[in-house]
């Protein structure tokens, strides 16, 4: 009987893990002239998750509920690190600043 209870609890726990809720983080990335930026790298710090922006500057990430640090980077622009708290689908538009490196 004890064995049957353990099996039942294991199945219920496995089912609840499989039912994790995912949300979308979406937005558009532009420069300071509000021109869309394609191929911007968007990385979720501390995980292997990430994506790149499309030709129109749009991006989409799928994450579970939680708090995340997102890094937006592109050659010629300053890297932007932001913190987001995701409890539902989330829209985060980004304006990247030009990286004017001094010689």
User: What's the pLDDT tens digit per position in 49-101?
Assistant: 999 999 999 999 999 999 999 999 999 999 999 999 999 999 999 999 999 86
Q: What is the pLDDT of residue 48?
A: 87
Whole-structure pTM value = 0.77
Q: Please name the residues in contact with 55: beta carbons below 8 A apart, sequence gap of 6 or more.
A: 36, 38
Instruction: Copy the structure tokens of residue 60.
Output: 């989409």
The DSSP line for 28-77 is EEE-TT--B-SS-EEEETTSS-EEE--TTSEEEEEEESEEEEEEEE-TTB
Q: What is the pLDDT of residue 86?
A: 95
Q: What is the pLDDT of residue 103?
A: 45
User: What's the pLDDT tens digit per position in 4-35?
Assistant: 555 555 555 555 445 678 999 999 999 999 99
- Whether 1 shows a pLDDT value over 60: the answer reads no
């Amino acid at each position: 009987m004890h064995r049957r209870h353990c099996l039942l609890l294991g199945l219920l726990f496995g089912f609840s893990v499989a039912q994790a809720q995912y949300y979308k983080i979406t937005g558009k990335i532009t420069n300071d002239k509000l021109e869309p930026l394609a191929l911007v790298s968007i990385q979720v710090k501390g995980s292997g998750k990430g994506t790149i922006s499309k030709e129109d500057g749009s991006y989409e990430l799928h994450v579970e509920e939680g708090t995340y640090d997102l890094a937006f980077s592109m050659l010629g622009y300053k890297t932007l690190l932001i913190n987001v708290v995701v409890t539902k689908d989330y829209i985060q538009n980004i304006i990247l600043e030009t990286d004017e490196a001094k010689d």
